[in-house]
Amino acid sequence: MQQASYPTVILGGGFAGLFTALHLSQQNYFDSIKIIELDLHCLRCLRTENEPSL
């Protein structure tokens, strides 16, 4: 029987949340990773110039 694969959800896109996602992605973590951040100002500070504005 095949197991269901669920995404890993990280609540908060601060330093701890972002570094947790980065660490998981560097450890051959195959499940998808979702970061939920409620503070849009934080995301505006982190986006690059090539990304569309929020």
Please check whether residue 21 lies inside any domain of the structure: yes
Q: How far is CA 27 from CA 5, 20, 21, 22, in A?
A: 17, 11, 10, 9
Instruction: Give the per-residue pLDDT at 6.
Output: 86
Contact assessment for residue 35 and residue 10, using Cβ atoms and an 8 Å cutoff: yes
The number of CA neighbours under 13 Å toward the Cβ of 21 is 17
Please check whether residue 17 lies inside any domain of the structure: yes
Phi, psi of 18 (to 5 degrees): -65, -40
Q: CA quadruple 12, 50, 7, 22: dihedral positive or negative?
A: negative
- Quote the number of domains for the chain: 1
Instruction: Give the per-residue pLDDT at 52.
Output: 54
Residue 37: domain span: 8-46
Please check whether residue 51 lies inside any domain of the structure: no
From first to last of its 54 residues, the chain has per-residue pLDDT tens of 677 788 899 998 888 998 998 999 899 888 888 888 887 665 555 555 545 554
